[in-house]
Structure 1
Amino acid sequence: MDKYRVPNRMNLLRAREYGLENSFVHIEQTRRIADFTLCKYRSLTPFHHSSICTMCLEQSECRYLLSGDASGHICCHDMFPSSLVATHPVIFRIDRNSNRDHHTHKVCSLIWYPNDNGLFITLGLDKKLKIWDTNRVKMADEYEFGNFAYSAHMAQTSNTSLVAVAHENGDLRLIDIRTGSNSHIIHSHNGKGICLVKWFNNNPNLLASGGADGRVLFTDIRSSRTYYMILDPDNVSTDNPQVKPRTTTASTSSVAHTRGIKSLEFLPDNSHLLTLGADSHMYLWNVNSGQRLLVNYGRMPTDNVRIKTLACTQMKHDRTKSLVYVPCGKSICAYDILSGERLTTLSGHLVSVSTCIYNRLSIELYSCSDDILVWAAIKKQQENYELSIKTQERRPETTRSLAQILNRDQWSDDDDEV
């Protein structure tokens, strides 16, 4: 935790005077991401009446937050401004009362179209993938499947139109929303099904998929092979010459986790992948070599949440300062990614947390369970605000008591007798 502490402020100001103002911004960002606390005086206008399953923040403005619940309802909140005291309004809603095209079952995935918040995609357990026009809040297109699909993802690169959908029968289906084609199917996993699918951050042709059997596969959609790499936990990256790593494609039965995959998150550096399994373990992998880095995060609490979304962040000026916020039951645990050290635990939810989202512009964290909470580095500001409220509450009482003293009755018993 020491490396996240702020150095002498006078040195930072002196560096800014010499034209190194970026260092001030970077160090301040580093301090804030490791010092999150619950925003007590910020709330979202209530909408959901059942548990919230997933959320998605658009990346063009980092302002509009989509959320979907177990009843199939969807809403969008405006998270601007990020002030100390605020109530974020609902921009639009999709439910049985407002839109006849709403999902009839649980919402599994929400996807904003990259670089443009005029379109978003939803996937539900009603076996339907829907494409929505944000401005009109109307469905533009719909795809219906014969099997349940638990996860969908779209590459976050420009000029992309492919959506990858993970099905329970082990198939990956690629949908081109530009042409309407959904005939490309990759039979990569076995009949136990696929839990998660994620595109690589820097390559719209590569994707990672996690199965219910614990396998994690890397697939190149340009190749005829079902996958080109399978992650093996025994293939470790170490400086010890006595440890010989395995080849990454030798065994097709290798499993990254002994139970199903709950989370796949690529780090912002595009070189590492975090996997979280139902076996209560989280592993860090080198994407290029497929080797597992020897980082011990300890055991993660297990719960009934099928898919968990982790919030990863890295400082551009120093890649060694990397954090991940992991839903752990009713709490959120912050880990140093490269060392495995648990830095802090955020508590505030009453039921299990399913999703954490990091806002890179306002440097905030959003988490959801039965409600949505906001976390930011505003502990000192909240203490000052609470102190000012208490001072204002005491001031009228003091004024009234002083007025009573000055205007008190000056009569005496002797005057009454006369």
Structure 2
Amino acid sequence: MLQLLNDREVGLDPPWLLPRVYGSQRFVDIELSSRREFVKGHKNGVTSMDIDRQSGRYILSGGSDTTGTILLHDTLCPPGSTHQYPIVSNTFSPISNSEQNTSYAICSIQWYPHDTGMFVTSSADRTVKVWDTNEMCPVESFKFTKPVYTHVMAAAQSHCLIAVGGKECEITLCDIHSGSSTHILRSHNLPVMSLAWSPHNDFTLASGSQDNRVLLWDIRKAAGPLMSLDMHNGSGSSNSASVETAHSGHVNGLCFSSDGLYLLSFATDNKLKLWDAFYGKNTLINYGHLTNYDTHTSVQFAVSSHTSTLHPVVCLPSSGSILLIEMLTGKKIKSLQGHFGTVNCVMTHPFEQELFSGGGDGNILTWEPPPPKVTETRSASGRGLSVYQDDWSSDEER
């Protein structure tokens, strides 16, 4: 680290190198926080979470309770103190009396990308709802004829669309401004399990389905997808059942890298694949055997920002643990264990080297680097003195 400081001072290294190297070291040291914890509010499992990207302070969580519980946590904590994150507000997703479903779990929850005044949820009650955060009540609702499995809101300046996928085997684009669906993207043959907007292009959308395919769309062209990702990069046999499929199992997890250059897909074949988002090619990086048995729910995972670590790190729920894996090499960094059940969702803090995870045990856990240790030295009298404490005497005391 001292060498990096010296190289930065003399101009041998660019200014961004030192904070990224330091951030990477902190990410490697991440462990279960002993100073910060969430007040438990979910009776059953936590299915989805999101943190606001403006301040990194407020966390939304949706549960698998039959009433569709939604909690809002405030993570403002004085530095160096032990703190319990309180529940600022809680509510549940109101269900129509005509609905005959027996499970109303929140499938996905997401902040409005530009401020915390609004958020969006999708639920097993076949609706996608837009909520007013101040009143904690829905102000708009989009209804569907079949169960919804996932949704994602675009962080775009040119439009305000919500992509919705579910058992209808199609992707519906809903416009918050007009309160209606704009158009439908059809090409999947089975239910759509996962969706992701590109952070680089406002009009590029990725979708994963139970038909084992990952499709890239330009939403301005509803005639068909831009490309279907092929795990063999076009070199597979024409008689093979896996031709033009991204996985050998249901694709229930998608995530773009923060720079938009790569797309990660996770499927029930227990494989994680990295794709070139521009050419649609499989990079053939081997991440090893992972665990993914959630055939009917989407998996929420995250990638560290390219500005916070030197090399992007994938934070992936795998059964009852969280795996940290280098995205570009496939090297496993460490496995984090703390939940008493399966881990359903993982997200990263937008500004710090911190993780938050929700599990089937109903807990939300904080993962952070350990606090810096203050070394102590021994004086001649055997007293423990901090390295920051003066150990001198005046002339009168000599």
Instruction: Give TM-score, length-normalised by structure 2.
Output: 0.84
SS of the residue 1:32 aligns to: helix
Deviating above 6 A after TM superposition, structure 1's stretches of 4 or more consecutive aligned residues are 99-104
SS of the residue 1:263 aligns to: strand
SS of the residue 1:292 aligns to: coil
User: Could you tell me which residue of structure 2 aligns to residue 173 of structure 1?
Assistant: 172
1:372 is aligned to 2:371: no
**CA distance in structure 1 between the partners assigned to 2:349 and 2:132 by the alignment:** 23
Deviation per residue, 1:23-63 (Å, 9 max, x gap): 44332212112210110221111211111111011111111
Q: Is the Cα–Cα contact under 8 Å of residues 213 and 258 in structure 1 kept in the other structure?
A: no
User: Could you tell me which residue of structure 2 aligns to residue 294 of structure 1?
Assistant: 284
Aligned residue runs from structure 1 range 121-270, under 5 A: 121-190=120-189, 192-235=190-233, 254-270=244-260
Q: Give, as a single letter, the amino acid of the residue that structure 2 aligns with 1:349.
A: H
Deviates most, 170-179 or 217-226: 217-226
**CA distance in structure 2 between the partners assigned to 1:161 and 1:292 by the alignment:** 30
Q: Is the Cα–Cα contact under 8 Å of residues 356 and 365 in structure 1 kept in the other structure?
A: yes
**CA distance in structure 1 between the partners assigned to 2:231 and 2:16 by the alignment:** 39
1:307 is aligned to 2:298: yes
User: Could you tell me which residue of structure 2 aligns to residue 413 of structure 1?
Assistant: none
**CA distance in structure 2 between the partners assigned to 1:289 and 1:22 by the alignment:** 28
Q: Is the Cα–Cα contact under 8 Å of residues 252 and 299 in structure 2 kept in the other structure?
A: yes
**Larger proportion of helix:** 1
Q: What are structure 1's unaligned runs of at least 5 residues?
A: 1-6, 237-244, 385-418
1:357 is aligned to 2:357: no
> Which structure carries more relative contact order (alpha carbon 8 Å, separation 6+)?
2
Q: Is the Cα–Cα contact under 8 Å of residues 258 and 306 in structure 2 kept in the other structure?
A: no
**CA distance in structure 2 between the partners assigned to 1:127 and 1:176 by the alignment:** 17
Pick closer, same or farther for the CA change 1:296–1:187 going to 2, 3 Å: same
Instruction: Give TM-score, length-normalised by structure 1.
Output: 0.80
Q: CA RMSD in A?
A: 2.7
Deviates most, 87-96 or 141-150: 87-96
The one of 62, 74, 93 equivalent to 1:68 is 62
Pick closer, same or farther for the CA change 1:159–1:222 going to 2, 3 Å: closer
Deviation per residue, 1:55-103 (Å, 9 max, x gap): 011111111110000111001101122744111111111137xx78999
Shift of 1:125: 0.2
Pick closer, same or farther for the CA change 1:317–1:119 going to 2, 3 Å: closer
User: Could you tell me which residue of structure 1 aligns to residue 74 of structure 2?
Assistant: 78
Shift of 1:144: 1.2
1:89 is aligned to 2:89: no
Q: Is the Cα–Cα contact under 8 Å of residues 15 and 21 in structure 1 kept in the other structure?
A: no
**CA distance in structure 1 between the partners assigned to 2:123 and 2:6 by the alignment:** 54
Aligned-pair identity in percent equals: 29
Q: Give, as a single letter, the amino acid of the residue that structure 2 aligns with 1:107.
A: I
**CA distance in structure 1 between the partners assigned to 2:309 and 2:370 by the alignment:** 23
SS of the residue 2:84 aligns to: strand
Rg larger in structure: 1
**CA distance in structure 2 between the partners assigned to 1:377 and 1:91 by the alignment:** 26
Q: Is the Cα–Cα contact under 8 Å of residues 56 and 67 in structure 1 kept in the other structure?
A: yes
Shift of 1:201: 1.2
Aligned residues: 360
Aligned residue runs from structure 1 range 307-326, under 5 A: 307-316=298-307, 321-326=311-316
Shift of 1:315: 3.5
1:110 is aligned to 2:109: yes
User: Could you tell me which residue of structure 2 aligns to residue 39 of structure 1?
Assistant: 33
